[in-house]
Amino acid sequence: MDRNAPLEKNSAGPGAAGGARTRAPEEGEHESASLALGALLDRAWDLRRSAFGGAIEWVNPVRTAVLSVTGSACALGCAHCGGHYLKHMLPIERWRELIDEDRVSSCLVSGGCDGRGRVPVAAHIDTIRELAAKWRLNLHLGLADEADVAELAPLRPVASFDLVADDATIHEVYGLGASAEDFLSTYAMLRRHVRVVPHICIGLRGGELSGEFEALRALARLGAEAIIFIVFTPTPGTRYASRRPPDPEHAARVIAHARTMFPTTPIYLGCMRPRGGYRDVLDKLAIRAGVNRIVAPSPRAIEEAEALGLSARWREECCAF
């Protein structure tokens, strides 16, 4: 492994868009915060090899259908999404179109939020039961009510939950009156009923690091079977369209920090992250930072894994499964 590349430059990395620069990660969060990035990556890599050996997984989720319970509608109009990603989902009312597709083995059921940050999945409980009889389910429920979760729990879904632990980020990005405590209590409630995979978006606040380390500290208290990292991606037509993604080195520091905090917990790099040169840089660093699984890995990541002697296998369902 090449440990000699300069990693501490203050750069947004290849492929960054215009806008305000991201600040450096917060220091003093953990003893690893005082390490230079190269040394932190070395520590994370050693922990990962000790716990998981030489295996890594690549993900191409072609067997997971993506359904929306609200079509393209969302009451929030979040700064990073603005409903853009809902347009690419199949409305749940059309789910029967998937029956004859032999490739489908699971469904990700999501949708827009209501004004309280809830995704109204339980309002489609009869359809969800039909889906669960055929395929594995990954549900995005948002700030769900416990009664709804209890109704869905017998179907044994996986729940994906966006964990945000900073009040200012919640207010600015989502426009919600909710607090970090609301997100943490919802996560804890979900864990009482279903298997939950927390998602942490690095740079969610328009490319700034804002609460990622607090989210990791919360997970250390509350527990996590796996952690998925995604990365803020500037999206045309949104309020954050002109912002930059976080520096890939800063994103790698968050991931490596997580590995030092959770040495035996699977850590994944999810599908939502910038493409192009940014992904080339980040994915290679993420391997050194100790991830177990990467969705749509860049060619650089595959080359890095081979150079490190990792044995890779491909998966064809959503990385949360």
* 62 has pLDDT over 80: yes
Domain residue ranges of the chain, discontinuous segments joined by +: 31-315
* 19 has pLDDT over 50: no
* 215 has pLDDT over 60: yes
Predicted confidence (pLDDT) per residue in 163-211, tens digit: 999 999 999 999 999 999 999 999 999 999 999 999 999 999 999 999 9
Looking at residue 82, its pLDDT comes to 82
Predicted confidence (pLDDT) per residue in 243-276, tens digit: 999 999 999 999 999 999 999 999 999 999 999 9
The tokens describing 249, both together, are 């080195």
pLDDT averaged over the chain? 90
Does 3.40.50.300 match the CATH number of domain 31-315? no
* 29 has pLDDT over 80: no
pLDDT band at 38 (very low <50, low <70, confident <90, very high): very high
Looking at residue 102, its pLDDT comes to 87
Give the mean model confidence (pLDDT) for residues 284-300: 97
Predicted confidence (pLDDT) per residue in 95-113, tens digit: 999 998 889 999 999 999 9
pLDDT band at 83 (very low <50, low <70, confident <90, very high): confident
pLDDT band at 93 (very low <50, low <70, confident <90, very high): very high
Looking at residue 17, its pLDDT comes to 35
